[in-house]
Amino acid sequence: MENLSFIGIGSNLESRMMYIQKALELLEEDPNINIIKLSSIYETKPYGYTDQDNFLNCVVKISTKYSLIELFIKTKSIEIEIGRVKREKWGPREIDLDILFFNDVVYCDEKLNIPHRDVLYRDFVLVPLLEIEPYIFHPVEKKKISELEIKNLEVNIIRKLDYIKV
């Protein structure tokens, strides 16, 4: 069975575009994952801990044969393969892959919340998500995201970039 998922990808260390490109390549190389659509890349101000370099962020829409937990394990293994180092919460990172939505699943445990608990509060996730899927349904809010009243949209976004392979 194919599952539909949206993954937020971000980086703010060293060659940010190279890290994002590598994450996309590793997703694409997996026979259990098919990339359907990629948003634009957005340069954004840091969120939470603000004394750090700007991020590059995007969202990718995929279909996958993985279950939610298998996909979570896969995204964490991609982060490790790329060289992510664990630092303070919201701190600098080589790469970050967050599962934003997985079908219409609502799931919560100590490591994973689906839909991602902050998806409605982070413009650097919402704007690229709405770019590629404007009518996505939020299973907790029981509405399409485009129908929700969202405040402070684009407060962290600096500019939209073209995706260029490095």
pLDDT, tens digit (0-9, with 9 covering 90-100), for 84-132: 887 767 667 899 999 999 999 999 999 999 999 889 888 899 999 999 9
Strands (E), 13-91: 33-38, 41-44, 55-64
Q: Residue 115: is the preceding peptide bond cis (ω within 30°)?
A: yes
pLDDT of the residue at 4:
98
Domain spans, the chain = 3-161
pLDDT of the residue at 140:
95
Q: How far apart are CA 49 and CA 29, in angstroms?
A: 33
Domain 3-161 adopts which CATH fold? Alpha-Beta Plaits (3.30.70)
Kindly list the catalytic residues. 84, 93, 96, 98
Strands (E), the chain: 3-11, 33-38, 41-44, 55-64, 96-102, 107-108, 113-114, 137-138, 143-144, 157-161
Q: What is the pTM of this model?
A: 0.92
Round to the nearest angstrom and report the end-to-end CA distance of the chain: 34
Return the residue matching tokens 């949209």. Answer: 153
pLDDT of the residue at 86:
79
pLDDT in single tens digits along all 166 residues of the chain: 799 999 999 999 989 999 999 999 999 999 999 999 999 999 999 877 777 899 999 999 999 999 999 999 999 999 999 988 877 676 678 999 999 999 999 999 999 999 998 898 888 999 999 999 989 999 999 999 888 777 666 688 999 987 666 5
